[in-house]
Chains A and B, each alone.
Chain A
Amino acid sequence: MQDLLELAVGATASGCVYGLVALAYLLVLRPTGIINFAVGEWAMVGAFGGHLLLSRYEWPYAAGMAAVVAFLCALGWLTERIAVRPLVERGAPVLAAVLALLGVLVITREAISVSFPPDPLPVPYAFGIQYQKYFIIGVTLAVFAAAWVFFERTVAGRSFEAVALNRRAAALMGIDLRRVSALSFAGGAGVAGLAGLLVSPNVSAHYLMGVPLAIQGFTALVVGGVGRVEGALLGGLLLAFAEQLTIRYAPIPGGYAQGVPLLFLIMFLVFKPTGLLRSRI
């Protein structure tokens, strides 16, 4: 029983991280239609920011966390300005932006691998190893609550939804598409960086940590459905529980456990590509 409870808490915490990455995808995807595979690398940058500020310069945790999120928001904003906006203004297909962001992914990863030693680098816990899981769960719930309030209860949030539904009509209603797009990239990068910072004490900051997170986050997004914010969290939790339970109880060799999220993703894409939660509209 104790064992099962620990497994449940652990799975909930990793599900929260997947959910945050899925939310980072969703924030960019809804208003712009762009799937941004670079979110995994943004999470990786967040982990390295945590290492730099909290381990090397020993900032207080709250200040370091705020600085990392602020830096990531700036990075997301900059990415949108440099790699995405020129394409959107030229009227290039969405695919061009997705491919440009793949280039950004590679640039980000290589820039980090050039600047830091190749070994995994430590990132401190917020309050100590035994509380980290609860900290992750708490922060994630706060982020999702904030996102829900923003999209459902504020005018600015509703304008994001309007852009997601119909760009042209939204623009005609006086919504500034460029501002929405820039803010969505900044927000997505901030959330992704937070996910990276939260998960990094357990896995250490490493320049290859991005792609697995990007795939797990995307799986969570596909499971939950791209229509609603809470779908991202639900998808993340389901994926994490499926993963943990398979590792614990299924009679397969340990290495194959890495394949579980991949199989989960393929099955959902093929059989239920709309996800579990349907869009409200």
Chain B
Amino acid sequence: MNLVRFAGSFLVLAGAAFLLSDYHNDVYRKMLLWVTLALGYNFLFGVCGQVAFSHFAFYGIGAYSVVILLFQLHVPLPLAMVLGVAICAAVALAVAIPATRLEGFYLALATLALAQLFVVVLNEGGELTGGTGGLANYRLPPVFGWSLGGPSYTAVIVALLLGTYALLVRLDRSWFGRACRAVRDNPEAAAAMGVDVARIRVAAFTVTSALAGVAGMVYAFVDNTVNPPIFGLENAFLLLFMVIVGGAGRHAGAIVGAVLLFLLPFVLSPLVGHHHVLVFGVLVVAAILFQPKGLIGLFNGRS
């Protein structure tokens, strides 16, 4: 993505925020964050073929660590951000090295257990994590003398989204992305071609989990509250469903899936109340049975 298109997209997406009402701005921000997460998860699941349920937990680790650093330990903001990224990357690496040795579903289960364990730790963390109520009533300190709030904070989220997208597209088109796809499709053949399968898996897991952590750090100041239920398993499943319905393995698919499944409840709630998850389940089964390439596969045949 060249610089002009990058700047253009930024202006359009961030400019939209200034036209929206407060409520719609809130919905818009959360949608952008879901798209960011889905892009990262698509790289892990769709491009590298790892079914992990820990992605959302890393989002939570990022959010909690930046809030704890800033308001429990009183670290200055720039340092807190650097430390937050470092924590996410370190935890991701520590998890990735043993977890990616596991074959197929064992990885899914280990990361599922990890995600559950994370929620248990949050609930039992006492003062530090605020227990079941989480942490609330904090404000983002001024950044270089600017107090970011309202639409200008949405611009930060747009920058995060575009930065994540640019990084993932670049990775995808490099030798690394090709190696990831090779590992997904046939690990033995990839190894025979000289790809270090274990290292590729660890790198993909670490990079995407760290990106989820960065998104979580940004999320922490969207609602100005972090609590355990947000980072539970429900959302980890939702993320997987977004990527499957949209089309695993393609960035456009992740974007379509995230936007669709995020906005669907707003359309459905007058019809089915809170039971939109039932519709998601049907959509996922239908997508796998009838349209394995996802919705994006309807438009053209490139895979």
Contacts and interface: CB of A to CB of B under 8 A. Distances in A.
B120 interface: yes
A35 B102 contact: no
B48 to A, nearest CB: 13
Contacts of B278: 106-107, 110-111, 114
Interface string B91-109: 0000000110111111011
Nearest to B131: A255
A215 B240 contact: no
A263 B117 contact: yes
A100 B103 CA distance: 19
B277 to A, nearest CB: 5
A270 B288 contact: no
Contact of A98 (B105, B112, B282, B285): B105
Interface in A248-277: 253, 255-256, 258-259, 262-263, 265-266, 269-270, 273
Given A98-B105, A266-B113, A269-B110, A103 B123 contact: no
A211 B109 CA distance: 12
B284 interface: yes
Interface in A210-247: 211, 215, 218-219, 222
B113 A262 contact: yes
A83 interface: yes
A103 B285 contact: yes
B277 A110 contact: yes
A100 to B, nearest CB: 4
A93 B142 CA distance: 51
Given A114-B275, A222-B109, A83 B285 contact: yes
Contacts of B284: 99-100, 102-103, 106
A92 B285 contact: no
A202 interface: no
A86 interface: yes
A259 B103 CA distance: 23
A205 to B, nearest CB: 19
B120 A100 contact: no
B285 A107 contact: yes
Contacts of A87: 288-289
A239 B233 CA distance: 22
Given A107-B282, A255-B123, A258-B120, A218 B288 contact: no
Interface residues of A, number: 38
Nearest to B111: A266
Given A222-B109, A265-B109, A99 B288 contact: yes
A103 B110 contact: no
Contacts of A96: 288, 292
A34 to B, nearest CB: 9
Contacts of B275: 110, 113-114
Contacts of A105: 281
Interface in B95-149: 98-99, 101-106, 108-110, 112-114, 116-117, 120-121, 123-124
Contacts of A218: 109
A262 B240 contact: no
A102 B109 contact: no
Contacts of B282: 103, 107
Contacts of A265: 109-110, 113
A252 to B, nearest CB: 9
Given A270-B98, A270-B110, A259 B120 contact: yes
A165 interface: no
A222 B110 CA distance: 11
Contacts of B244: 99
A215 B288 contact: no
Contacts of A94: 104
A22 B171 CA distance: 40
A98 B113 CA distance: 17
A103 B289 CA distance: 11
A129 B257 CA distance: 49
B6 interface: no
A251 to B, nearest CB: 14
B102 A273 contact: yes
Nearest to A86: B289
Given A95-B104, A222-B106, A259-B117, 9 more contacts: A86-B289, A99-B244, A102-B237, A102-B284, A105-B281, A256-B120, A269-B102, A270-B98, A273-B106
4 pairs of A and B residues whose beta carbons are closest in the complex: A106-B281, A110-B278, A103-B284, A107-B281
14 contacts: A86-B289, A95-B51, A98-B105, A106-B281, A107-B282, A110-B275, A110-B277, A211-B233, A263-B113, A269-B106, A269-B113, A270-B102, A273-B102, A273-B106
